[in-house]
């Protein structure tokens, strides 16, 4: 509907409209995890440690209350395996109850929980046993799924088994010292470690089967970091090879899923020589990525093509900026792209903005992606104008541009 200068697009019934976080990035003091260990090494390559992060381990009710009051109907958050099983086989019943309380509370305030079971960080013991590089560890992940059964319950919620397996297969490689550096985005991502990718794909497949067996109403998927690969003259072969390795093999693994999570922020362009740096005139965000809000619509189209129509949930999209008006402009354009893809008939079930909070961006706090500002010493939360703007659309179940 076009009302003067404003275009309103009504969303399909049941559309999930919310925001996303991950456990390690917001909870704080995730002591038994491998990432905490890397951060705190004397010669850590990371400039900042997560420390108390957003203190959401204690303040999760406040986070959910805020999101619900802002108008959202969904919240993607993570459960942290390193808290639930801090030593191999030693399960904390109290932590299982903690996350179960979170799921129950989300429902009680009108937020549909979208649960991430693994988001980059693993228990340190798991990594010491070879992590995702060890095929025998798949059984340990399946044991973890059994342990968290009370959190998943018998409802019809959505779970993301593993967040961005394609980035995880690069990160794990980089952190074990075997591969490139995690921050090498400017020149494109390093190649995935194929042995790790194979284990992740098998683990996801096994996890889906286990979860569908034990929680038949649950919607199971995983979320893939879309690189929105493009090419100019002579760059086609480079582009397609890159995309197959960093993205498509993981998208194909979603063909049997109930949904696939799309995560898109920017694009990667190739010429005959490799990755083409954006021209110096182009705006870059605080992560150094090209400002390219069209990425979302294009990622959704590509995902749909590769999976052959697995329903899509946008599990992450957003911008690291200190200029909240720029966040609104970026998101307006991203949602226009998403609406375009939906108009073509692509089955999109929801949009979850990254991120609910200014959080720990895997080594630094400076790239602020949040709709809600978090004061670093008091942890006071202040919704930004973008939070109210996006929340209002969520309440009305429309995209407005």
Alpha helices in 20-92 (DSSP H): 23-26, 34-39, 56-70, 81-84
Residue 72 sits at φ, ψ, to 5 deg, of -75, 155
Determine, following the binding rule CB under 6 A, whether residue 11 of this chain makes contact with ligand BGC. Answer: no
Question: Where does residue 246 rank: exposed (0-12), middle (13-18), buried (19+ CB within 10 A)?
Answer: buried
Q: Which residues share a beta bridge with 271? A: 274
Cβ atoms within 10 Å, residue 148: 21
Instruction: Annotate each residue in 227-266 with x if it binds ligand BGC (CB under 6 A) or - if it does not, as one string.
Output: ------------------------------------x---
Instruction: In whole angstroms, give the CA distance from residue 299 to residue 305.
Output: 10
CB nearer to ligand BGC: pick between 126 and 362: 362
Among residues 361, 370, 374, 389, the one that binds ligand BGC under rule CB under 6 A: 361
CB nearer to ligand BGC: pick between 29 and 212: 29
CB nearer to ligand BGC: pick between 96 and 171: 171
CB nearer to ligand BGC: pick between 96 and 265: 265
β pairing state of 6-10 and 398-400: antiparallel
Tell me how far, at minimum, the Cβ of 89 lies from ligand BGC, in Å.
Answer: 28
Residue numbers 368-397 binding ligand BGC by CB under 6 A: 369
CB nearer to ligand BGC: pick between 112 and 361: 361
Residue 374 is classified by DSSP as: E
User: Could you list the active site residues?
Assistant: 164
Helix (H) / strand (E) containing 18: strand 16-20
Determine, following the binding rule CB under 6 A, whether residue 127 of this chain makes contact with ligand BGC. Answer: no
Tell me how far, at minimum, the Cβ of 81 lies from ligand BGC, in Å.
Answer: 15
Determine, following the binding rule CB under 6 A, whether residue 225 of this chain makes contact with ligand BGC. Answer: yes
Alpha helices in 46-134 (DSSP H): 56-70, 81-84, 93-108, 124-128
Instruction: In whole angstroms, give the CA distance from residue 264 to residue 294.
Output: 9
Tell me how far, at minimum, the Cβ of 22 lies from ligand BGC, in Å.
Answer: 5
Tell me how far, at minimum, the Cβ of 26 lies from ligand BGC, in Å.
Answer: 10
With CB under 6 A, what is the number of residues at the site for ligand BGC?
11
β pairing state of 268-271 and 274-275: antiparallel
Contact 392, 5 (CB under 8 A): no
Contact 229, 267 (CB under 8 A): yes
Determine, following the binding rule CB under 6 A, whether residue 39 of this chain makes contact with ligand BGC. Answer: no
Residue numbers 259-318 binding ligand BGC by CB under 6 A: 263, 316
Determine, following the binding rule CB under 6 A, whether residue 22 of this chain makes contact with ligand BGC. Answer: yes
CB nearer to ligand BGC: pick between 357 and 398: 357
Instruction: Annotate each residue in 62-101 with x if it binds ligand BGC (CB under 6 A) or - if it does not, as one string.
Output: ----------------------------------------
Residues shown for the chain: 401
Residue numbers 150-209 binding ligand BGC by CB under 6 A: 163-164, 167
Among residues 15, 354, 365, 389, the one that binds ligand BGC under rule CB under 6 A: 354
CB nearer to ligand BGC: pick between 96 and 200: 200
Structure-block tokens of residue 266 = 């920017």
- 332 sits in the region (left: phi over 0; alpha: psi -120 to 50; else beta) called alpha
Instruction: In whole angstroms, give the CA distance from residue 68 to residue 87.
Output: 35
Residue 165 sits at φ, ψ, to 5 deg, of -55, -30
Instruction: In whole angstroms, give the CA distance from residue 46 to residue 383.
Output: 28
Contact 23, 80 (CB under 8 A): yes
CB nearer to ligand BGC: pick between 80 and 215: 80
User: Which residues contribute to the site for ligand BGC (CB under 6 A)?
Assistant: 22, 25, 163-164, 167, 225, 263, 316, 354, 361, 369
């Amino acid at each position: 509907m076009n009302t003067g200068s404003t275009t309103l697009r009504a969303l399909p019934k049941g559309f999930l409209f919310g925001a996303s976080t991950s456990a390690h990035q917001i909870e704080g003091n995730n002591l038994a995890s491998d990432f905490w260990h890397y951060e705190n090494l004397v010669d850590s390559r990371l400039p900042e440690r997560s420390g108390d992060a957003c203190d959401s381990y204690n303040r999760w009710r406040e986070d959910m209350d805020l999101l619900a009051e802002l108008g959202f109907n969904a919240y993607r958050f993570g459960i942290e395996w390193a808290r639930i099983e801090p030593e191999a086989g030693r399960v904390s019943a109290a932590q299982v109850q903690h996350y179960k309380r979170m799921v129950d509370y989300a429902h009680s305030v009108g937020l549909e929980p979208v649960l991430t079971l693994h988001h980059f960080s693993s228990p340190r013991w798991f990594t010491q046993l070879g992590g995702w590089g060890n095929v025998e560890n798949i059984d340990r992940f399946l044991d973890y799924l059994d342990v968290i059964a009370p959190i998943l319950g018998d409802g019809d919620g959505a779970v993301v088994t593993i967040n961005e397996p394609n980035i995880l297969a690069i990160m794990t490689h980089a952190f074990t010292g075997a591969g490139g550096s995690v921050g090498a985005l400017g020149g494109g991502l390093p190649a995935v470690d194929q042995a790790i990718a194979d284990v992740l794909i098998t683990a996801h497949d096994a996890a889906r089967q286990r979860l569908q067996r034990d929680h038949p109403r649950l919607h199971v998927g995983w979320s893939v970091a879309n690189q929105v690969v493009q090419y100019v003259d002579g760059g086609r072969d480079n582009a397609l090879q890159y995309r197959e390795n960093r993205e498509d093999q993981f998208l194909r693994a979603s063909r049997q899923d109930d949904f696939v999570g799309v995560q898109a922020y920017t694009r990667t362009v190739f010429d005959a020589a490799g990755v083409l740096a954006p021209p110096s005139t182009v705006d870059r965000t605080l992560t150094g990525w090209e400002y390219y809000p069209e990425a979302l619509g294009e990622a959704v189209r590509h995902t749909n093509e590769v999976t052959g129509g697995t329903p899509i949930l946008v599990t992450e999209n957003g911008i690291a900026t200190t200029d909240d008006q720029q966040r609104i402009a970026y998101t307006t354009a991203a949602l226009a792209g998403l609406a375009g893809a939906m108009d073509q008939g692509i089955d999109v079930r929801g949009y979850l903005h990254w991120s609910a909070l200014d959080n720990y961006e895997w080594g630094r706090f400076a790239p602020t992606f949040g709709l809600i500002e978090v004061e670093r010493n008091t942890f006071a939360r202040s919704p930004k104008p973008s939070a109210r703007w996006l929340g209002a659309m969520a309440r009305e179940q429309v995209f407005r541009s």
